[in-house]
Each structure stands twice: as structure tokens, then as C-alpha cells.
Amino acid sequence: MNERYLIRVSGIVQGVGFRPFVYQLAMRHHLSGWVINSSDGVKIDVQGKADALNLFIRTLKERPPILARVDEVQCLQLNPGISQGFEIHPSQSESDVAVSIAPDQSVCPECLAEMNDERSRYYHYPFINCTHCGPRYSILEQLPYDRVHTTMKVFDLCPSCSQDYHDPMNRRYHAQPTSCRHCGPKIYLRSAGGELMAQDDDALSQVAGVLHNGGIIAVKGLGGFHLVCDASQSQSVRKLRAMKHRNRKPFAVMVDSIETAKRYVFGESVEWQALSSRPAPIVLMHRKLHNGIASEVAFDSPYLGVMFPYTPLHHLLFEQYRYLGCEPILVMTSGNVSGMPLATDSADIVSQFGDMLDGVLDHNRPIANACDDSVVHLAGDSIRVLRLARGYAPLSYKSNYNGTPVLALGAQQKATVAMALPGQLMLSPYIGDLDDLDTQSRYEQMSSLFQNLYRCEPQRWVCDGHPGYFTTQLTEHLPGHVLNVQHHHAHILAVMAEYRLTGPVLGFAFDGTGMGDDGSVWGGEVLLADVQHYQRCGHLKPFRLIGGEQAIREPARILLAMLLECYSLQEICLLKHPAFDAWTEDDFANLYQLWLSGKHSPFCSSAGRLFDAWACLCGLLERPDFDGESGLLIEAAAMRSVPDMDTPLSMNWGTEQIPQLDWVPILKMSIESGVWQHQKDVADACRGLIHSLAHAIYQMANRYSSSPVIVSGGVFQNRLLMNELWQYRRNTTQQFYSGTMIPVNDSGIAIGQLWYGMHQN
């Protein structure tokens, strides 16, 4: 007796080979009917023997294609009809969208094998791909995911590619970027002035030669341009830093294999797995001392960001580089001046760098959506995402939410947007800091993109409470209901969203800056929180930011403000601390008056600013070059401390109504020992600071032992702090949570805001 079902499958089920998988599965089980892509997922009308149908449905749920993610399989039983064979119907568009967007993926082993096979028509073709790999999000213009809705629509398929594309038994069936050397995109090497220098294999050969001779090439990839140079050549790396206006922030490198990587870094098995995974992120791994890499790549950082080639073009470039007998390690950094959005076309990259470039390796497949490289590291026993982008983003989750669309606008720094629709929620790729018009424009484009893709008009908008944020100001002109979420509450909510928690929880939100309810600058907060409310139940002892934002650029001002809580101005001057060497008596007097009056010197309880002051105290930093530099320097110094040292430094919670974490004793102890004068003392003091924060978290967690603990905010990107917390976690039944897929820094704020907005009436 035959049975018949109408099945709807939602999740990441387009652009991942789902329809040919369904077709082949139906043929294997002798079922008839059809399958179709629609805006709300994949629909299947299928009939046959009951046992075969049950096995078919179970396989859909349990063993989908490798890049697919099945969120839901809905089955509606129909009356059997007359049907012969099984067909794949053309896609249809629905008013409701329930399908999730697939992120771009690294090239698969099967495609690499074909690319290296001289007998294959894909031999040395730099855009080879199939349903298991290649671009998705970066070429998508609208849903459903069909070729006519991507930037590949300008390339007509040749007869051979057309045959593959229309054969349900072929790996390239409806792989939308399918093409070959005869019908697809091509690569061109041009000068910065636009002169054609070479194309195809000759272009790659010339690029390898330019890099070997110390040049810098802009290379167009999946979601934007990289700036590339030989990582072994100091002069090239220095030039690249000058071009990007990036003085000290470490560069990432691309290497051709695990064997090469092991010459430069070492790590745990999970780090090597992350490096080799399909998303192919940059993995921050422990550096080895190696003379083959220029010191300017990462200076004294204990870590080196490493990634593997993830496009066919990368693999071909490394092949050419090996022909020259060169060490296969290249700096690959985002194609933009620091602070500007990632360049996605040659005109943009040339406008930013001009004739400082020694060439532009371009291709003619347009990039619809910019997407940077993802960055991860190992901390607290888990691989944790620091920058959510290519390979992981757009990040989507199945959700039980069934309300009206909600769009969360994120923060000012490391901006992202998040959206909730019935059945799912999603987080955009990393966009950047919204401090310039170009990045603000990119942000607005991405916000509009997701509304257009999902054909929704949000009825509820969620933003930060800071009135000066660009994202907050946008809400003044938006229709619908606007909700504000305090910055640090949103940090806690982001982790709650990842683990589907609604509270109550004990949350530690430690970061650089966020506007507090009392008008001061928060950033070392302990909150009892749920999805509706929060209560501040502890915070770092406040100190002043002398001159406001200027203090963030000059950490000596923060150090002075903290010292003024312990000593007189005269005593501070007598310390002769090198951080104050450039200050005159008038400088001291003026800054002291600002501190006394409080004018332009707001109170601050920020753990991030505490790290700035500590780095300054220890002589590690005069002026920060990038966000989080002080934390990285303190972490590096702490790693040089004797691991089993019993640190005398500790911070304790006060007896105030809202307890304050008192940093005064450890500051006075460090000052009185002249900590900045000896490297060993610096290392011990940095380790002591990290231990003190971890111990303070243990203390407060014990007071609320029945509540799950959440740690979030940029300070928790510190590996030593996270490792110590997770060591404690092993010895307690209290649950500890922190972000894994969703970054704990400000790029996770949007999902926290969204989680709040989804739970309001």
C-alpha cells in the first residue's frame, strides 16, 4: 500500500546540494514525486511504500548533506496520486522566507583533486567549486538561492558545465557558482594604474615573482581583497604596515599545509582541527621562535594568526610560490586602511592604496556581500570565535520565536546586526567600527540586505542605550517600536542567547566602555539578570577618566587618576614613573585640576581601562595602537611568570550596599615594590592581576552559588583569565558559560539585544 507526504524542510538547505540529495535518495528507495526550492525551504511531494518513506524521512533528518543544517522537517499526509518517477522542479518564490543563508566555504578535497588533475577540464581553474564548497553568501543577491539571484548570473554556462549543472546525479547539480575556464570568471593582474599585466596562469606566476621580490599585491578573494606580501621579508611587512596605518597589531599569515604551520606555531589537537575545518578561520596559535618570519609580522605577541588556503586561487598561488623555491608563508591581511570597510572591487582598493601597490590580482566575479576572515582561538577548554565572518556567518539558529520580526542594531564598535523571524534568528558577519561614513554606509547596506532577503519589515527595533552611538541614532527615523538595552546587560544576554537561557543568571560583563545607568562609564559589572531585567550587584571600584576619551588614548592619565585615589600629587611626582616623564609641572597641575573638579573626567568602573592602567604601570604601553592591546601585552607578560608562584596580589569585594572590587591594595603594593623596574616583577604583577580578577569572580560566584554564571565582554578574550576560570569550573557544580560561536566582544551585542527584544510583550 502506497503512502504520500508533502514535506517541508527548513534550515540551511539551499546551496548545499539538498535537492540532488533528495533526488538520489528517492531514486534509491524507489519513490516518486518531486522536490522544489522555495523561499521558505525545500518542499518535497513524495509517495511510495510506507517502509521506504519512513527511511527516506529519517535520512532527511539524520544524514543530510555535509554543509546542510536541518532545523525542521514537517510532514503532511496526502491522498496517494498517480505519479511516475521523481523530478526536480524549478524554484518558486514565497512571501514568507524560512530558509537560512549558507556561509561561504573553503574548497573541498574533490575539487582540489580535479584542479590538480591535468586530464580534468578544471585543471588549474581558480574558481572550481561544487555543492560542497565555494561561495554562497558573498555572491547572493536575493532568495531563493538560484543562479539568477547571484552575481554568477552574468556568466552563461558552456555545454559541459550546463550538463553537470542539470544532472541530479552530478556533484555540481545546481551548484550556482558552477563554471569552468571556458564560461566562468577569469583572473587578471593589473598595475595600480589599471594596465593589464597578465591573466590566467601567467597572472599567478607573475604575482609569485612580485611577492618573492618584496612587492605587495592586492588579491581579490571570496568576500573582499587581501593585501599580500612575503612574511619573511621585513621591508615588505614594514611597508604594508605603513600602507594600512597599522603600527603594531599583529598580521595573520597563510601557510600551505600543517607541515609548514608546525614550523611556526604549536597547539592542541582542537586548534589543528579548527585550522583544517571547512570554515577555514584564522586560528590564533602559540608562536615558535623561528628566524624564517619577519619580526614585524607579530612583534612580541605570544600568538600568531594562521590560516590555510581556502580558495582554489590561493592553492594555485602557493603552487607558483613553491616553484620559486620560496618558503610558503604569506601575510594575508584585510584589504583596507585600518578603520575603513573591506574593499570588494578594484576601484575601491586602488582608491585606498594607489601606486603603493605593486599589482592588483583581480577577477570579474562581482562580490555582492563583503565578508572578512573569521578569527578563533582556544580559551577555557573551547575554540571560541573572536570575529564572526567567512565560513561561519551569517550565523543562524532554529528558534521557537513566533512573533513579529525584530531587528537588533548592535554596538558602535565591532558592529553587527541580528534579526529574529518566526522559526529562526540570525547574526550578520562582522562589519567593523562605525566611526567613519564609509563603514556606516556598509552597515546600513547590510541591515537593508537582511530585511530584503527575508522580505520583512521589522516591527520592533533594539539598540544600545548610548545616545551617541550611530546605531542608536538610526532609530530616530525608524517605524515601529524601539527598545533600548543597557550595554553590559546585552553582553550577558548574548551568551544567554547562545545557550537558550532566560535566567536568572549571575553575569560578569568586563569590557572597555559602556554607558551605565548612572551616567558613568561601566565595564567591570556584576549583574543578576534575566531576559527582562537586571540588577547591578557588584562592580569594579570606580576611578576617573581624566579628559574622558583622551584618557583611553593616553593610559598615563588613567594611571594618574588611580594613583590619586592612593597618594598625594606630590608623592606621585616623586615616584619618577617613566609614564610621566614627558609631563611638565603645568601638565600635572592641569590634569590634577581636571581630576579634582570632575569636569570632562567621568567616573569609570571598566576592567578594560584597568588593564590599560596596569600596562602603563608596568611600562608595557605608552599609547595603544589597537583595541585590546594592553590586555594582549599583559597576557604575554604574565606567560613569562613562574606558573606555580603564589602571587601576593589579590582584590577583594568591599562591604558597600553594592560591593565594589577594590584594586587599591594591589596598586599600592606594585607601586611600593617599583614593579616597572624589573622584568620578573612585571611578569609576576601581570599574572597577579589576571589571577586577582579570576579569584574575585570565584568569590562573587560563591555568594550566588545557585545561579548559573556567565562571563562576557572583551576582557574575557584573555586566554589566561578564561583558562583559570575554567579550571575553577571543573571543581564546582555551578554552571559557567561564555560565548563560543558568538563572540564575547561587542560584535555579540546585537544577538544579546535581539534576545531581549524577542522576550518582550
What is the tens place of the pLDDT at every residue in 465-492?
Answer: 999 999 999 998 888 899 999 999 999 9
Rounded CA-CA distance 429/747 in Å is 9
CATH, residue 276: 3.90.870.10
Q: Are residues 226 and 278 in the same domain?
A: yes
445 is a domain residue: no
Lowest mean pLDDT across 530-534, 577-581, 641-645: 641-645
Please report the pLDDT score of residue 97 as a whole number.
60
Residue 563 lies in a domain: yes
Other beta carbons within 10 angstroms of residue 596's beta carbon come to 12
The total domain count for the chain is 4
Distance CA 373, CA 386 (A): 11
Could you tell me if 123 and 237 lie in one domain?
no
Tens of pLDDT, residue by residue over 661-718, are: 999 999 999 999 898 988 889 999 999 999 999 999 999 999 999 999 999 999 999 9
Report the DSSP beta bridge partners of residue 4. Answer: 47, 78
> Are 315 and 112 spatial neighbours (Cβ–Cβ below 8 Å)?
yes
Query: Is 528 contained in some domain?
Result: no
Looking at the fold, whether 18 and 82 belong to one and the same domain comes out as yes
Q: Is the pLDDT of residue 357 over 70?
A: yes
pLDDT at 93: 63
**Domain finish residue from 164, 185, 206:** 185
How far apart CA 402 and CA 424 sit, in angstroms, is 9
**Least-confidence region, from 10-14, 379-383, 410-414, 496-500:** 10-14
Residues 167 and 52 in one domain: no
**Residue 194 maps to a domain:** yes
Beta-carbon contacts of 488 under 8 Å, excluding residues fewer than 6 positions away, are 507, 509, 511, 514, 516, 522, 523, 525, 527, 713
38 and 149 share a domain? no
Q: What is the pLDDT of residue 395?
A: 94
- Does 677 fall in a domain? yes
Of the pLDDT bands very low, low, confident and very high (cuts 50, 70, 90), residue 758 is very high
Active site residue 609: no
Averaged confidence pLDDT in the chain? 93
Q: What pLDDT is stored for residue 66 in this prediction?
A: 83
Q: What confidence tier does 99 reach under pLDDT thresholds 50, 70, 90?
A: low
Over residues 249-271, mean pLDDT:
95
pLDDT of residue 489: 98
Mean pLDDT of 564-577: 93
Q: Any idea what the CATH number is for the domain that residue 74 is in?
A: 3.30.70.100
Asked which of 166, 185, 204 is the last residue of a domain, the reply is 185
- Residues 8-19 as b/e (b if ≥16 CB within 10 A, e otherwise) read bbbbbbbbbbbb
Amino acid at residue number 725 = L
Answer yes or no: do 162 and 201 share one domain: no
E strand or H helix at 350: helix 346-353
Residue 648: band (very low, low, confident or very high) from pLDDT cuts 50, 70, 90: low
Residue 64 lies in a domain: yes
Residue 645 predicted with pLDDT over 70: no
Query: Could you read off the pLDDT of 414-468 as tens digits, one per residue?
Result: 999 999 998 889 999 999 999 999 999 999 999 999 888 888 889 899 999 999 9
Q: Which of 157, 185, 213 is the last residue of a domain?
A: 185
The answer to whether 590 is a known catalytic residue is no
The reply to whether 206 and 65 lie within a common domain is no
458 in a structural domain: no
Please give the Cα distance from 96 to 418 (Å, whole number): 18
Whether 96 shows a pLDDT value over 90: the answer reads no
- Set 2, 4, 8, 19: catalytic member: 19
Predicted pLDDT of residue 40? 72
Pair (328, 219) in one structural domain: yes
What's the mean pLDDT in 295-316? 96
DSSP assignment of 44-71 equals EEEEEEHHHHHHHHHHHHHS--TT-EEE
Q: Is 180 left (phi over 0), alpha (psi -120 to 50) or beta?
A: beta
Q: What is the structure's pLDDT at 2? A: 85
CA-based nearest residue to 740, from 494, 568, 515: 494
Q: Flag whether pLDDT at 95 surpasses 70.
A: no
199 and 324 share one domain: yes
Is the pLDDT reported for residue 89 higher than 80?
yes
Per-residue DSSP letter, 452 = H
Contacts of 150 (CB under 8 A, 6+ apart): 139, 140, 141, 176, 177, 368
For residue 94, the model assigns a pLDDT of 58
For 570, the domain range is 544-689
The pLDDT of 590-602, averaged and rounded, is 92
169 and 210 share one domain: no
- 333 and 266 within one domain: yes
Which pLDDT belongs to residue 536?
Answer: 97
CB within 8 Å of 439: residues ≥ 6 apart:
339, 340, 341, 415, 431, 432, 433
Active-site hit among 4, 8, 37, 761: 37
Q: Is the pLDDT of residue 54 over 60?
A: yes
Strands 329-334 and 225-230, how do they pair? antiparallel
> What's the rounded mean pLDDT across residues 343-349?
95
Q: What is the mean pLDDT of residues 355-364?
A: 96
Answer yes or no: is 565 within a domain: yes
From 230-244, 251-265, 390-404, the region with the lowest mean pLDDT: 390-404
Burial of 56 from C-beta contacts in 10 A (0-12 / 13-18 / 19+): buried
What is the reported pLDDT for 121?
A: 94
For residue 170, the domain's CATH number is 3.90.870.30
* Domain co-membership, 550 together with 566: yes
Say how far apart CA 212 and CA 547 lie, in whole Å: 48
